[in-house]
Amino acid sequence: MAIDEALLEQSSTLCSAVFRLYGWTEPAASFGYFQRYQDVEQLTALRPLVRRPTGGGIVPHDADWTYSLAFPPAHAWYDLSARDSYCRVHQWIQAAFQAVGIPAELAPAAFKPLAGQCFVGHEQSDLLWRGRKIAGAAQRRRKDGLLIQGSVQPPASIERSKWELAMLEAGSKIHAAEWAPCPDNALLDRAAELAQAKYGQAAYNQQR
């Protein structure tokens, strides 16, 4: 979470979009910036719980693949509406899944039988496979950039490495992305500050 917020803070100085793929060292759950901690702890048994810098509901991180995208204000993606941005990122993920043999589809409408949990039901333009939601995301747009945080709950038969490669290839094909490493010591230093002072503190995660 700290690295993602650092990406948002510094997206305008990075001068290009950043795509980050990451995982979790232990089962956990993240929850939306605006959610009440007391509600969250009753809705999931996963621990630890960490508040995201983006909105949305509870996301289980016990078997998922996570990613983030950060766009500077000068990037064309930044000017998209929230709905169009959400649809575009899931079209990208859909193309990657199709490349590895999973015919996923975008949800035409929302179906939310239980509020507060991202993967119980689905929103419009979430990615579905055989009627089950396999990809969702949350966004935060500020003057200094746009952050998208997403979770993929994949079919068990798919290897993560193949899907990640398919994401890069689909990004190049659909969005003309030219990939390069993003080593940035200043970003990592800022993330370490945020992890210590904010995301690693119970006072922050439980503030609502």
Q: 187: part of which helix (H) or strand (E)?
A: helix 185-194
Provide the total of helices (H) and of strands (E) in the chain, helices listed first.
6, 9
Q: Identify the active-site residue in 15, 87, 118, 182.
A: 118
Distance, in Å, from the CA atom of 75 to the CA atom of 17, rounded to the nearest integer, reads: 7
**In Å, how far are 104, 105, 121 from 131, measured between CA atoms?**
9, 9, 10
118 is catalytic: yes
Sign of the dihedral defined by the CA atoms of residues 185, 190, 193, 195, in that order? negative
Beta-carbon-side half-sphere exposure of residue 189 (alpha carbons within 13 Å): 3
Are 6 and 187 spatial neighbours (Cβ–Cβ below 8 Å)?
Answer: yes
Task: Report the alpha-carbon distance of residue 45 to residue 20 in Å, rounded.
Answer: 27
In single-letter form, the type of residue at position 91 comes to Q
Please tell me what DSSP assigns to residue 142: E
Amino acid, res. 133: K
Gap between the Cα atoms of 149 and 92, Å rounded:
14
Q: Which two tokens stand for residue 79?
A: 């000017």
Q: Which residues are catalytic?
A: 118
